[in-house]
Structure 1
């Protein structure tokens, strides 16, 4: 760096060249004549190493996204580039505000959580990286949320900032998050699908000016506050969904684009129109400094994974990858394990006929003050549900132009229904969705015909 300050060379980073055009009078003659002296050669190697490293990183980044993106979209390379991503987002109307409830007392600042040497090193790396990008800054806030790590499935560490105390006194944003079932139903009869996954979408939203102090977190390096939005803030989902709905609102209203947080789904039948719309969506992302993760994008597919489902023309089924481990799911030995299994199963309940009836012995175990008893009924329910996942039918996506049929039934403990639709081609009724619900203690006393009427209602 001493050499650079002394000679102040003019460097053309694009061409990889430098010239001594700004040397002081005392050194200019020497600089012009000593093209091969050790000092100049050392400087040449230094500059060349920087240039080569920069070019190599850029080439690797370009090669990566080009191999994953259709050629007609290569003009949007900046959208798929990792290097382009790491820039501070501009202030926008979507900046994430944190409004405290009127009269609420500020939470007491948290104390440092103990960390292992490995965790401290990981935290140091995270802090340095976020400071470099300008995503955080040092703080003197009266608030301090604690940080800790959780292990990833691959053995790595994920940083968590516990904003629970801050969230408790924050005014809640009631902006609606779309229901997955409603989004999937809107796909109707599309045959060409493109999915665009945004890279670190939350970091593309700034914290509203003046609210940064409310985000402060405490670390062994000191107190830092966020400049961009991170996962963990209440209202973060609502802020991001509102932003995406506003940015792509005209496409969404046209019924050809679906947005669920950081996933954008484009669905049409005509390839030419599909490509045109894909370009328009990418242009909109560029205009709003949003970037995509090429390895999580899919283009012009006839069948595609979306939100845990496999979508194809007029059909929907469970993602086999999500179900691959169900057969080996170990028998639960405590309530939390039952809740975890039911949480997974409940996500796919629209595929399972009489789900509530099957799950009844397991849901009973999760009730408050219910003693733990794993008997024949629980074992049969657990194994029965696992088996239904491997034999669940492929559902039809509703087509509002074809007739529907609703069939209902009731048992001693639950009601159930199946919504079917007539296929005009094969003249057969195909299931669209299954529904089931457990009866409460009072409803179980109804006469059977009242239970059947309840199922219809």
Structure 2
């Protein structure tokens, strides 16, 4: 939790005074309490106000020192005492009387009773003292999991399987820049000390596979040593086809989350032991000689799927937990539940000998960054840094740069309706044989696409308790769909957008066939949410409404 605000009062008077005001043109009776730092309404009142959009807000501390969890804060239009102001109100999850607090008193220029004195209004940037103490105890309890010295995952081994006709390849060491030589040597010695590497005695054994090294300078200025396995074993490895999870699959596990933690595994692959019979394929050639990996190195083609499979098995059955290779996210609806889930995760990690990078972990947060997105109680957002990077991208001057821009936009396709249809003319430019022509129309579209990402909707978390509404639509160039949750009073919020271009054959379809194809596309795209559930399907094509209506049997083709 962030920014905990607390207020202490002295000689509070008129605590039960009631005022009647208009909020969003609706009459509302509120307790008048200028001793409270913030004005507050409960969830039920927020719903009667047509659920104005919520922004992230800190939790509050009541005058009784009880922690009050907020859903967020909303900007509302208030008419009171002959004045109209647009002010912020905090929304709490529970049943409480609406509170007209000090912030509104100041906005409306109201006096408040003598004797009331604000003794403190604090904004703690990280967490309450209590939460800090809990976290400190938690870190001490699992000190072995946070141990920086690399251990090895217990009960799992990596085995390299190569095709029978694979031809061994041995490369000489590549020269290392003099500015990096000492760092590379230090890293080699560290990996020897931590039993990640072992020296190959070329006098006693023959080296059949040897890869040159690639040195990657990390933000900490340390060097990561990887084998350039793409020139040796990668073309000959039988890769485990275990699928990496989609972003949608992962987010579906985080519904109703209000508290989040992100756990980063230390050196990830290097925690997994390689079977002795497979180490012959993982030899690297350096200026200090040949070394053999005893742990799974970065750069081998089968590593992501194997490590993902291993972590899924280690964390199997834990509620509110998702993992993408070496990044774990934990979500809960309360701090008490969250600590229990964190403990369950760390007990599994301890049992299997998995090590965690403490400095890169974020615990008990109301908002976290994960896989290029910002996730909070309100939903899923693009990260500000990535959006800003896209906004600052210069106009492309060739096909390669245009593809780079389209790739960046496509990463956030779930936030932008009909993205592929909007990008259709750009996709035409990237086709082989198409001459490069960047005109004013392209410039306008380029800026339009960047701005639509900036103003994109927040995507709400999928919740299997809420009704689903699927919208579909077709246009001349593409298909579009949006899946929404329906909330109280019929309000709908998007879970995700999806779109694709029509093929040359599909472009010749009749209008009714295109609209039907859009429905099939939407149902297929969001099948993981829709399968086994009743949902509302909406289309603006009247003939299809009759064909798919309640009083008609579905066509045999469907």
- Answer whether TM exceeds 0.5 for this pair: yes
Q: What is the aligned length? A: 384
Hey, what does 1:149 align to over in structure 2? 215
Question: CA distance change for structure 1 residues 415 and 87 in 2, over 3 Å: closer, same or farther?
Answer: closer
Root-mean-square deviation (CA, aligned residues, Å) is 2.4
Contact 2:152 2:271 in 1 (8 A): yes
For residues 365 and 155 of structure 1, the distance between their equivalents in structure 2, rounded to whole angstroms, comes to 40
Hey, what does 1:116 align to over in structure 2? 177
Counterparts of 1:44-443 in structure 2, within 5 Å, are 70-79=135-144, 81=146, 84-89=147-152, 92-102=154-164, 104-139=165-200, 140-150=206-216, 158-164=224-230, 165-251=232-318, 255-424=319-488, 426-443=489-506
Offset at residue 67 of structure 1 (A): 8.1
For residues 346 and 409 of structure 1, the distance between their equivalents in structure 2, rounded to whole angstroms, comes to 19
Question: CA distance change for structure 1 residues 219 and 352 in 2, over 3 Å: closer, same or farther?
Answer: same
Offset at residue 152 of structure 1 (A): 5.7
Contact 1:68 1:294 in 2 (8 A): no
Contact 2:272 2:295 in 1 (8 A): yes
Normalised to the residue count of structure 2, the TM-score between the two structures is 0.64
Question: CA distance change for structure 1 residues 389 and 77 in 2, over 3 Å: closer, same or farther?
Answer: same
Normalised to the residue count of structure 1, the TM-score between the two structures is 0.78
For residues 334 and 86 of structure 1, the distance between their equivalents in structure 2, rounded to whole angstroms, comes to 47
Hey, what does 1:447 align to over in structure 2? 510
Question: CA distance change for structure 1 residues 157 and 441 in 2, over 3 Å: closer, same or farther?
Answer: farther
For residues 150 and 259 of structure 1, the distance between their equivalents in structure 2, rounded to whole angstroms, comes to 25
Structure 2, gaps ≥5 residues long: 1-130, 201-205, 521-558
Contact 1:358 1:384 in 2 (8 A): no
For the residue of structure 2 that corresponds to 1:395, the secondary structure is: coil
Offset at residue 158 of structure 1 (A): 4.8
For the residue of structure 2 that corresponds to 1:89, the secondary structure is: coil
For residues 436 and 199 of structure 2, the distance between their equivalents in structure 1, rounded to whole angstroms, comes to 50
Contact 1:88 1:135 in 2 (8 A): no
For residues 292 and 432 of structure 1, the distance between their equivalents in structure 2, rounded to whole angstroms, comes to 32
Offset at residue 309 of structure 1 (A): 1.7
For residues 70 and 403 of structure 1, the distance between their equivalents in structure 2, rounded to whole angstroms, comes to 37
For residues 206 and 341 of structure 1, the distance between their equivalents in structure 2, rounded to whole angstroms, comes to 39
For residues 441 and 276 of structure 2, the distance between their equivalents in structure 1, rounded to whole angstroms, comes to 57
Q: By percentage of residues, which structure has more helix? A: 1
Offset at residue 295 of structure 1 (A): 2.5
Structure 1, gaps ≥5 residues long: 1-65
Of the structure 1 ranges 189-198 and 367-376, higher mean CA displacement relative to structure 2 is found in 367-376
